[in-house]
Every structure is written in C-alpha cells, then in structure tokens.
Amino acid sequence: MRFNRAISPIKVLSFDLDDTLYNNHPIILNAIEAMQSYLQSIPEWANQQGDYWLKCRRHIGETQPHLKDDVTNWRKVALEYGMSQLAFTNEEIARHSSNAYQAFANARSNITVAQSVLSLLQALDKKYTLIAITNGNVEVEKFNLAGVFTHVYLAGPDGKAKPNTALFERACHDLKVNPSEILHIGDSLDTDVQGANLAGCHSVWLNNQSASYAYKGLADIEIQDIHQLAFLK
C-alpha cells in the first residue's frame, strides 16, 4: 500500500465494479460467447464473411460515437443494425436483436463475488455510505452484490462514462456531499483515478492488472489487493 497524498475526512466510498470487486475477464468472455452462440444459430448471420459482429459494432461506434458512453445501447444498436442488413422483417430484427442481447446480459451478470469481499464491504458499510460508479453494464441486482450499495451509477443512463466527471457529480448531488468527501476505488488509472481526480474526489488505484495506461496522474492511495481497504474500517 502506498499513500501519495493525505486525504480529508470521507463520508462515501465509491467502487468501480468490473475487475475491482471481481475478475471480469472470464465473465465478459462467457457473455460474448453466449451472444455469439445465439447469433451463429441464425443462418443469415452465420453466413456473413469475417467477424460480422465486430464490423457492426465498429460501424455504430464510428457513425454514432455518442453511444460509446453507453455500452448497453451501443451493443443493442449494433445488433439491430446488423440484423437490418440481412433482409429480415422488422419483427425478426427486433426478436433476434433482443434474444442476442438477452443471451449476453444473462451471462454478463452470472457473477459470484467472493465472501471475503462481501464481508469487507459489510464492515465498511458500518462507517461509510457505499455506492458504485461503473462504465459497464452489469446488473448488480442479479447477483450477490444486490442490496450492498445505496446507489449504483451506470455510464449512459446516469451520465457520461468515466473519466468524465458526470457520474461523480451526480453522486455528490444525490448524496449531498462535497467531492472531497468521496473516495473512489477502481482498477483503471485512465477511467477511475483520472475521473475521480478531475471531479475533485479522492482516489484509490487497485494496481493488480498488467495493463498500460495513458493517464500519468497519481491516485491518492495505491493498493495491490482490495482487502487492503480494511485500514478504512
């Protein structure tokens, strides 16, 4: 654990979700596999050359860049676009797109957070208000983080994605706290630490990923294991 700056008194602990409270890598791979399995069961889709899904996703990202702040709608719109290019009826486009997205969503939230992490959160909840701020589209109410957080803020429905400050500002407004009273914990320097720093919140970087980042700023605190947050209890 490393302290780069002193932090002022904290009222709210804000958590990123994916790769902070659980390993998201196998989860997202399973979700993509579930979606692709459904898509490949559709002959018209399976007959397309190359990675047709990736082509559709890239096309929507380039033509509707605002959707990059809302990964759920980006996926849904890309699926609808892909189906619309295959001469399906409107009913078939809607049905296949919905079914493919639902296959993804069901697997996306098939998560079990470790009991040790839940126990840590339960202990921290005795002293702080716990919230989540995520750029992802996991549905917390579908697994064992349900009921843990006072608020869950999702990029898209609740504001632009981190490192934009919108979600942090929304949390400050809803909870009636100053930015300096929020400590945000996340695994990404580019989104979590940069976003919290820009918003005037305190930041904890969970540095346990072998990833490279563009952001050169410092988190207030750096940890290598989520359980090191026990010092906050």
Active site residues: 16
| Distance in angstroms (rounded) separating the CA atoms of residues 222 and 86 | 49
Amino acid at 200: G
CA 96/CA 99 separation, integer angstroms: 5
Task: Pick the closest to residue 131 from 220, 34, 20, 225 (CA basis).
Answer: 20
